Every structure is written in structure tokens, then in C-alpha cells.
């Protein structure tokens, strides 16, 4: 072999070795430093904000659901009470929290909707400030009277109210509350109106009715069942699409001829901007937890019926409720 041929061969060999070495380093690097994989959600505790005080209906429902959600997610679910401002201390914090799935909260409908629609309050938040995950419970409104009082049926109440508008009084836990909206909707459905007496809570309203100071108790069905069993009140009608399994003897307003459906719902939401994959993980976990038979049984003992609306169904429900509030309150 000539010197020239030998030099060319040696050069080719060196280039080949360099190329192999380069490829070997790239492959080694790929093995030791693979692309960063997504962290599995959740990998730490999740905070669940309850915008009402401990011991209330929302709080009790949240803590009843808590262990079943923890079982599904494999992480602690920490219930934190943030009462005040008619629920808006907690809802404001939720709306402005980091949308990473680690801060969730209960939204109470229609209260949260009336809160941001009320022009007097001038709130910046709206339905778009939240990402609905799943509804937990729906507690329909109902109308009751003092046991052994002058009214025995809903028809008797309607007939009297038509002849005497603004005379019959009803209870309400606040302007824009589900009780208030129920009373307004009831009046509009029969072409009349009631005098709504605002109070500081359902217990006060119950005392007003039992004491003979207010004619009609307008509250959630779950708050009435034990009172009727004790013989203190008579439930005349429930504002739901169908009769409740918790009080199957009580007719709905619809079957009595009055197109009124109303009540309160409590569901789970996250701040706007939540990643879709994280949302799906949360929805699936909460749905399994809510539909756990043991959980359903415990909620029934509390007088509550689970109603796990999610996805498009839950979003549509919330938008329909917003529309209804605007119509009833004139906002």
C-alpha cells in the first residue's frame, strides 16, 4: 500500500471511530437523562374550602364525603372552613387560588350566583371564575305549615294567596337565597305574591312558623323531614322534578299543577384555568366517592340525596340557574 493510500485509509478510520464515539455518547446520554416525565396527580394533600362555618350543612356533607375521596385519590383531603361574607370569603379565595388542582371548594347554588349577580355588591368574580368538577348533593325547596294549622293542603294555600296577595308570609334565610327565590317563584307560578320575611337562618324561620308569627316555612326538604316526623309541621309540597325518596308521601309542585322547581345544590369546583387532565382525575375520583354505597347511606341519614352531575350536564345546570336568578330577581 502506498503512503498516500495508507494516509487516506487512516483518515477514514479515524472519522469512523469519531462518529461511532459520538453516537455512543448520545445514546448513553439518552439512557441516563431521559425526558422528564409528568408528575402523577395528586402527589400531595388537597385543600377543600367550605365557605361556611363548621357544623353547618355544607361542612357536614364535606366531612362525610372526605374519607371516600381520600381513598380514591390516595392523598389527604383537608377540609378548611372559610366562613363570612355570605360565603364570599371562601369563594373569593377559591377563585384566586393557583389552578393546579390542589385547591378546591364547595360552590353553593343559587347563593353563589346571586352573590355575583347582585348589582349592589359589584363583585368581579362570576361563573367563569370557576371550573365546575361535580355536584355532590341537591336539596329541593319545600313549603310547610305548622301542624294542625289553618292550611292542610298546598291548594288551600294557593287559593288563599290568589285572593290575598302579599298577605301570607314566608320565611327566607336572606335576600337572593334559595328560600327567597323559591318564594318568589311560587308566587309568580300562581299569579300572586307572598310577603317574604328575612331571618338569620333556618332555625329562626322554624321558630317563627312554630310560634305562629310566619305562615309558611320555605326551606330545604332535608331540614323539614325530622320536624314532620316529630309532628311539628306538615310538608305540603316539594319543588323537585320527582318525589324524594326521603319523603315519598310529599307531592311535587309539578304534579299538583304548579311549574316550580327549586332548591340548593352543593358541588365541587376549582379555580379557572385548571388543566383538563387534572380535572378528569378529580371528577372520576369524586364521582366514585359520591356513589359509594356507604356514603350514600350516611348522606340519607342526614336527610340529603346525592346528585353527582358532572361535565356538560353540570355546566348546563349552573347556566340555567344563573338565567333563572336573573329572571326572578330582575338583575
- Domain assignment present for 69: yes
Residues 157 and 292 grouped into a single domain = no
- CA atoms in the 13 A half-sphere facing the CB of 72: 18
- Domain assignment present for 255: no
Query: What would the grid cell of residue 121 be?
Result: 355588591
Which segment of 160-164, 197-201, 229-233, 298-302 scores lowest on mean pLDDT? 197-201
- Domain assignment present for 313: yes
Number of domains in the chain: 2
Helix (H) or strand (E) holding 8: helix 3-32
Ordered DSSP codes for 175-196: TTSHHHHHHHHHHHHTT---EE
Residues 60 and 209 grouped into a single domain = no
Residues 177 and 227 grouped into a single domain = yes
Residues 133 and 144 grouped into a single domain = no
pLDDT digits 0-9 by tens, 226-238: 999 999 999 999 9
- Domain assignment present for 205: yes
Residue among 329, 331, 318 at smallest CA distance from 181: 329
Percentage of the chain beyond pLDDT 90 is 79
Residue 43 CB neighbours (<10 A): 9
- Domain assignment present for 26: no
Residues 145 and 227 grouped into a single domain = yes
Among 223, 238, 253, where does a domain finish?
A: 238
Residue 195: give the domain boundaries: 140-238
- pTM comes to 0.79
Average pLDDT in the 149-157 region? 97
Residues 154 and 128 grouped into a single domain = no
Residues 120 and 201 grouped into a single domain = no
pLDDT of residue 173: 87
pLDDT of residue 56: 81
- Domain assignment present for 40: no
Q: Radius of gyration of the chain from Cα atoms?
A: 29
- Domain assignment present for 248: no
Residues 132 and 269 grouped into a single domain = yes
Residues 233 and 187 grouped into a single domain = yes
Q: What CATH number is given to the structural domain containing 158?
A: 3.40.190.10
- Domain assignment present for 227: yes
Residues 228 and 161 grouped into a single domain = yes
Q: What CATH number is given to the structural domain containing 121?
A: 3.40.190.150
β-bridge pairing 46-50 and 77-81: parallel
Residues 271 and 128 grouped into a single domain = yes
Amino acid at each position: 500500500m502506498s503512503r498516500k493510500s495508507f494516509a487516506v485509509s487512516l483518515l477514514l478510520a479515524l472519522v469512523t471511530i469519531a462518529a461511532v464515539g459520538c453516537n455512543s455518547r448520545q445514546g448513553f446520554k439518552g439512557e441516563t437523562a431521559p425526558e422528564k416525565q409528568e408528575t402523577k396527580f395528586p402527589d400531595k394533600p388537597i385543600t377543600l374550602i367550605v365557605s361556611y362555618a363548621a357544623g353547618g350543612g355544607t361542612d357536614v356533607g364535606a366531612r362525610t364525603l372526605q374519607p371516600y375521596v381520600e381513598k380514591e385519590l390516595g392523598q389527604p383531603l383537608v377540609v378548611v372552613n372559610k366562613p363570612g361574607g355570605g360565603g364570599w370569603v371562601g369563594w373569593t379565595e377559591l377563585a384566586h387560588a393557583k389552578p393546579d388542582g390542589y385547591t378546591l371548594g364547595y360552590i353553593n347554588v343559587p347563593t353563589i350566583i346571586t352573590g355575583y349577580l347582585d348589582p349592589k355588591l359589584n363583585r368581579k368574580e362570576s361563573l367563569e371564575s370557576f371550573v365546575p368538577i361535580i355536584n355532590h348533593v341537591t336539596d329541593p325547596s319545600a313549603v310547610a305549615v305548622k301542624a294542625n294549622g289553618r292550611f292542610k293542603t298546598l291548594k288551600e294555600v294557593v287559593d288563599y294567596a290568589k285572593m290575598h296577595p302579599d298577605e301570607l308570609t314566608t320565611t327566607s334565610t336572606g335576600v337572593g337565597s334559595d328560600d327567597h327565590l323559591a318564594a318568589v317563584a311560587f308566587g309568580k307560578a300562581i299569579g300572586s305574591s307572598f310577603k317574604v320575611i328575612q331571618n338569620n337562618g333556618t332555625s329562626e324561620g322554624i321558630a317563627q312558623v312554630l310560634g305562629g308569627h310566619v305562615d309558611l316555612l320555605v326551606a330545604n326538604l332535608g331540614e323539614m323531614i325530622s320536624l314532620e316526623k316529630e309532628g311539628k309541621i306538615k310538608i305540603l309540597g316539594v319543588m323537585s322534578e320527582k318525589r324524594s325518596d326521603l319523603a315519598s308521601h310529599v307531592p311535587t309542585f309539578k304534579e299538583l299543577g304548579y311549574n316550580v322547581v327549586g332548591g340548593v345544590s352543593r358541588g365541587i369546583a376549582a379555580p379557572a384555568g385548571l388543566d383538563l387532565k387534572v380535572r378528569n382525575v378529580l371528577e372520576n375520583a369524586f364521582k366514585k366517592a359520591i356513589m359509594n354505597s356507604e356514603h350514600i347511606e350516611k348522606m340519607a341519614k342526614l336527610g340529603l340525596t346525592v346528585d353527582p352531575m358532572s361535565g356538560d350536564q353540570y355546566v348546563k345546570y349552573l347556566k340555567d340557574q344563573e338565567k333563572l336568578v336573573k329572571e326572578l330577581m330582575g338583575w
